[in-house]
């Protein structure tokens, strides 16, 4: 049987099937979601967080897990198309938060895997950077989670690609819509909305304003670029123009890449929230969770994010 015919038969079956008696019998949970979705993003997060934290009242979280057909009478309304093997040029992506810490971007790699700077720097156009896992993006454009891994690659090699879980939502107007969808998936799986702050002291937008000298001042701070990083990048960037790259030349090149990121994305970043309001699919250090679980509930249509049905 062709897929189209199979889906048509399934929809007819679903329409004739009674909804589960557990599915929002009085319509209160659906009304809450309908009221939530149009809110400004930060109000949306605060309200969603309060709703989930109501003691002894798990109805809303349970409602957010009722997207599948046997509950709400529609087989496809909550399904989000997800490309689990996407590879996107870092230059094609835009941030959805208004803070990118330079130290947050480079410090961990410098301390734990400094040789990887050279590996990323040596990639040709379209080469995929090994970042130890996939970030989450929307519509091939918006970074939803993993901003500092994205900016790390951009600072080192703006021509590289980054591996992502990319979900596609037709009609998505802006990054805030993608963030709301991610937060609802987190709420459905984890039952809470965690918040994590960023390092505002090295924020490329608020602290440097794109001034390359201020970017360099941050790059030379302790804990960001060490001697092993310099050696790794010197080997990768050795060329006829730089036969023996100096520390200063390497810092200059990193700063130029960082300024490029700033100048290209500052407008998009200015529309986004602070990091504390960003989705945390991996939870927190105190309570880690699995990001793939949030992808799954979107991909399978379990997360009940679409109140139209």
Q: Could you tell me the pTM of the whole model?
A: 0.88
Write down the mean pLDDT value for the chain: 88
Question: What is the C-alpha separation between 93 and 51, in angstroms, rounded?
Answer: 32
Residues 106 and 251 in one domain: yes
Which of 15, 44, 72 is the last residue before a domain boundary?
72
Whether residues 43 and 66 share a domain: the answer is: yes
CA–CA distance, 14 with 94 (Å, rounded to integer) = 39
Q: What average pLDDT score do residues 278-291 get? A: 92
What are the CA-CA distances from residue 234 to residues 123, 130, 259 (Å)? 14, 19, 20
Angstrom distance (rounded) from CA 222 to CA 219: 8
Count how many domains the chain has. 2
Same domain, 42 and 105: no
Express as a percent the part of the chain with pLDDT over 90.
70
The secondary structure of 242-286, three-state, reads CCCCCHHHHHHHHHHHHHHHHHHHHHHHHCCCCHHHCCCCCECCC
8-17, 41-50, 165-174, 284-293: lowest mean pLDDT where?
A: 8-17
Dump pLDDT digits (tens) for 112-160: 999 999 999 999 999 999 999 999 999 999 999 999 999 999 999 999 9
Q: Are 165 and 136 in contact (CB under 8 A)?
A: yes
Residues 210 and 153 in one domain: yes
199-253 pLDDT, tens digit each: 689 999 999 999 999 999 999 999 899 999 999 999 999 998 889 999 999 999 9
Are 142 and 57 members of one domain?
no
Would 308 be classed as within a structural domain? no
Average pLDDT on 35-61 reads 90
Using the 3D structure, point to which of 72, 101, 123 is the last residue of a domain. 72
Residue 106 sits in the same domain as residue 147: yes
Confidence of residue 10 (pLDDT cuts 50, 70, 90): very low
Longest C-alpha distance within the chain, in Å? Answer: 73
Question: If you average pLDDT over residues 20-28, what whole number do you get?
Answer: 67
Q: Check whether 21 has a pLDDT greater than 60.
A: no
The answer as to whether 251 is a domain residue is yes
The pLDDT, as a whole number, for residue 100 is 95
Distance CA 192, CA 48 (A): 9
Instruction: Kindly tell me the burial class for residue 183, based on how many C-beta atoms sit within 10 Å of its own C-beta (0-12, 13-18, 19 or more).
Output: buried
- Which domain does 147 fall in, by range? 81-299
Check residue 14 and give its pLDDT.
38
């Amino acid at each position: 049987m062709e897929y189209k015919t199979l889906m048509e038969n399934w929809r007819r079956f679903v329409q004739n099937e009674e909804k589960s008696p557990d599915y929002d019998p009085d319509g209160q949970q659906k009304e809450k979601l309908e009221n939530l979705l149009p809110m400004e993003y930060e109000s949306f997060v605060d309200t969603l967080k309060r709703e989930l934290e109501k003691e002894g009242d798990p109805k809303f979280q349970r409602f957010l897990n009722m997207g599948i057909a046997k509950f709400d009478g529609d087989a496809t309304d909550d399904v989000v198309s997800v490309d689990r093997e996407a590879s996107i040029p870092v230059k094609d992506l835009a941030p959805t938060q208004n803070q990118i810490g330079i130290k947050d971007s480079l410090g961990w790699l410098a301390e734990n895997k400094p040789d990887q700077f050279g590996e990323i720097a040596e990639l040709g156009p379209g080469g995929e950077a090994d970042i130890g896992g996939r970030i989450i993006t929307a519509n091939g454009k918006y970074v939803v989670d993993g901003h500092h891994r994205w900016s790390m690659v951009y600072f080192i090699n703006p021509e590289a690609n980054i591996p992502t879980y990319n979900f596609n939502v037709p009609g998505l107007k802006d990054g805030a819509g993608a963030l709301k969808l991610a937060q609802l998936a987190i709420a459905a799986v984890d039952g809470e909305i965690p918040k994590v702050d960023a390092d505002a002291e090295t924020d490329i937008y608020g602290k440097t304003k794109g001034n390359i000298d201020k970017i360099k001042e941050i790059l030379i701070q302790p804990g960001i670029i060490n001697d092993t990083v310099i050696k790794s990048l010197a080997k990768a960037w050795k060329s006829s123009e730089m036969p023996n790259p100096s520390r200063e030349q390497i810092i200059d090149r990193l700063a130029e890449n960082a300024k490029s990121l700033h100048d290209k994305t500052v407008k998009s970043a200015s529309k986004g929230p602070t990091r504390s309001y960003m989705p945390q699919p991996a939870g927190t250090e105190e309570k880690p969770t699995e990001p793939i679980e949030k992808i799954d509930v979107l991909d399978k249509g379990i997360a009940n994010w679409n109140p139209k049905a």
